[in-house]
Structure 1
Amino acid sequence: MTLPKHAIHHLYEYRKAISSKPFTARGKNVVRCQSCLLAEQFCTCCQRKQVSSELSFMLIMYDDEVLKPSNSGRLIADIIPDTHAFIWSRNEPNKKMLSIINDPKYQAFVIFPSEYAVENQTVINRVDKSKLPNGKHPLFVVLDGSWREAIKMFRKSSYLHQLPLLSFSPEFAASYALRKGAREFQLGTAEVAALALNVAGEPANGLVLEAWFELFVESSLHGRSRNSRDSAIIGELQHRFQEAHALSLVNA
C-alpha cells in the first residue's frame, strides 16, 4: 500500500516549483526517487510506515533545505502522522504556521540548546503529556538547516521566544551519541526528533525513527558509492526497522 504524500513532500514540490534554476548538490547526476530523494535503486518508499503517536512536529526549514537529498527532516514526516513543514521567512512568517503554533489544541515547544534561551524563556528537558492543561498535545518545533542557519532562525524569530524551550541534557544527548557508535557527536534533524520522542514518553516510536534514519543513511551511502559497500547491510536495516515498527504497535 502506498502512503499518501505528507507535508514535506508538498513543501518540496512547492519549493522546486518556485526555483529559478535547478537545485544542484553532491550526487547531482544520480537518478533519484522524487519522494525519498534516494537513488532509485535504493528507494525506501515501499518500506515507509507511520506509527501511532500523540505527539506532533513542525519543521521550520531554511530556504532550500527541503531540496537537499541529505536532509533527514523528511524522515520525521515519514514516521509521525501529524507533522507540519514550512520554509522560514525572517520578515514575513507564514500565517498558517503561526496559527498552528497558537492553536489551542497544541502546546508548542521549540527544541534548541538551553544556552540560547532568551530572558525569562522557560527551559525544560522532559515533557509529561498528562500534565499539559486542557488535554493539549505537544507540538515540537524543529529548526531544520545547518547549525549556523538554525541559530539565525532562532534569534530572528521572536514568536519562538514565547515558547517553552526543550533542551536535552548533555548527559542524555551524549549517551544517545555513544549508542550510535561510529561517528562524532553530531545529531541530524531526525535524530533530534527521536530524542524528543524519548523524553516525551514515546521511546518505542523513538526507536522506529532511529531505525528509519539508519536505513536512510546507509541507503544514501550506497547511492554514492560504486559497489564498495556491503549490500546485505540494507537488508539488515530494513529488518530492524520492521521489528521496531512492530514493537511500537504493541506499545501503542
Structure 2
Amino acid sequence: MPHTPHTPQTPPRAPHAVSRLRTARLARSAKPFLARGGPRGERCPGCRLVPSHCLCSLQPVMPTRAGVCLLMADIEPLKPSNTGWLIADVVPDTFAFGWARTEVDPGLIALLADPQWQPYVVFPGEFVEPARVVTEVAEPDADTANGKRPLFILLDATWPEARKMFRKSPYLDRFPVLSLQPEQISRYQLRRSRRDDHFCTAEVAGLCLDLAGEPQAAQVLQAYLDVFTHHYLQAKHQLPPDWEGDAHLQLREALGKS
C-alpha cells in the first residue's frame, strides 16, 4: 500500500537536544538566520524540511546502550542540512552543546564526569599522538571499560573548524581518541568535503554505533540519513518525494517493517 505523506502540525516528539540548542542559538542571534530557500523560512519544526516534504512520520527511535555527545560549531544547529539533528532523532541518549573557545558549558563537564559513561573523542588518528588512539570500542564487561556505556564525542563542524575545536578543548585531552578506519566512501550529498574520507556527522555516528555492537541502530541511522537526503534534494529541485523509492524501502527494511 502506498505510503501517505505526513502533514505536520506540531513536532512529533518533545524537542531533542539539537532542537533545544537550535532554539537557544536563535534566541542569541542579532538578526534572523535565513537558510537557503528564500526568506519565508517555511520549514517544519520537527524535521526542518519544507512542509510538502516533511518526514516527521518516519522518524525512528532506536534505544541504544551507546550515547552520542555533539559539540557543535556556532551555526551548525541552524543549518537545515545538519545531520547531527538526525542522530538526535534516532538515538535517545544524544546530547548537544555549542562549542566556544573561551567558555565551556557546565552541562558538558558534568556529562563527561558522569560515571556511567566512557567517553571517546572521535577524530582521525593521524592528527593525534599515538598513545591516545584506539580503533575499537571496549566490550561492556571489559576491565578497561569498567562496565561503562560508550559515549561518542563528535565534533560537528566543518573540517577546519573541527581541527580547531580538537586543539582548543583541553577538557577532552584525558579521553581516548577513536580513529575510524572506514573503507566505504561517503554517500552524503548535501555538503561535500574535499576529501573522500571525510564523513558527515550522521555517518560517523553510524560507524561508531556499529563498533559499539549496535548494528541495527547503525543501519537505521544510515537509512534515515538517505531518506532525509532524498527529501531535502527533492525539495531543493521542487520535485515530490518518492515514498516508494529505494531510500524509503531500505528504512522500512532496517526497521523490520514490510
Counterparts of 1:6-45 in structure 2, within 5 Å, are 6-29=16-39, 31-45=42-56
Amino acid at match of 1:98: I
Pairing 1:90–2:101 present: yes
Which residue of structure 2 lines up, in the alignment, with residue 79 of structure 1?
90
Structure 1 equivalent of residue 206 of structure 2: 194
Once residues 199 and 113 of structure 2 are traced to their aligned partners in structure 1, the CA distance between those partners, rounded to angstroms, is 28
- The question of whether the paired residues in 1 share the 8 Å contact of 2:69 and 2:154 is answered with yes
Q: How many angstroms does 1:239 deviate by?
A: 3.0
2:254 partner amino acid: A
Picking from 146, 156, 160, the partner of 1:144 is: 156
> By how many angstroms is 1:222 displaced?
1.0
CA offsets 1:95-146 (integer angstroms, 9 cap, x no match): 11011012111000000000121474x2111113322533210000000011
Tell me the residue number matched to 1:135: 147
Letter in 2 for 1:177: I
Aligned to 1:163: 175
Task: Describe the shift of the 1:158–1:50 C-alpha distance in structure 2 as closer, same or farther (beyond 3 A).
Answer: same
The residue aligned with 2:8 is none
Distance 1:119 1:177 in 2: 25
Q: Relative to total residues, which structure has the larger helix share, 1 or 2? A: 1
Whole-angstrom distance in 2 between the partners of 1:14 and 1:181: 27
1:53 aligns with 2:64: yes
Identity over the aligned pairs, expressed in percent? 38
Unaligned runs of 5+ in 2: 1-10
Contact 1:38 1:69 in 2 (8 A): yes
Q: How far has the Cα of 1:12 moved from its partner?
A: 1.0
- Amino acid across the alignment from 2:34: T
1:201 Cα deviation from its structure 2 partner: 1.1
Aligned partners of 1:156, 1:186: CA distance in 2, in Å? Answer: 21
The reply on whether 1:65 has 2:76 as its aligned counterpart is yes
Give the Å deviation of 1:162: 1.3
> Please, what is the CA RMSD of the aligned residues?
2.2
Report the number of matched residues.
Answer: 239
1:208 is paired with a residue of what secondary structure?
helix
Structure 1 residues 58-67 or 31-40, which shifts more?
Answer: 31-40
After TM superposition, the score normalised by the length of structure 2 is 0.85
Q: Do the aligned residues in 1 keep the contact of 2:156 with 2:162 (CA within 8 Å)?
A: yes
Cα distance in 2 between the residues matched to 1:25 and 1:2: 22
Instruction: State the shift of 1:160 in Å.
Output: 1.4
Structure 1: segments with no counterpart, 5+ residues? 248-252
Q: Kindly tell me: are residues 96 and 34 of structure 1, through their superposed partners in 2, closer, same or farther at Cα, counting changes over 3 Å?
A: same
Preserved CA contact (<8 Å) 2:188 2:229: no
Instruction: Determine the C-alpha separation between the residues in 1 that align with 2:19 and 2:168.
Output: 26
Structure 1 residue 40, shift from structure 2 partner: 1.1
TM-score computed with the length of structure 1 as normaliser: 0.87
**Counterpart residue identity of residue 246, structure 1:** G
- Matched residues in 2 for 1:44 and 1:118: separation? 42
Specify whether residues 62 and 5 from structure 1 end up closer, same or farther in structure 2 by C-alpha distance, changes over 3 A only.
Answer: same
Query: Residue 177 of structure 1 aligns with which residue?
Result: 185
Q: Could you tell me how far 1:159 is from its partner in structure 2?
A: 1.2
CA distance in 1, matches of 2:22, 2:249: 28
Does the CA contact (< 8 Å) of 1:215 and 1:234 recur in 2? Answer: no
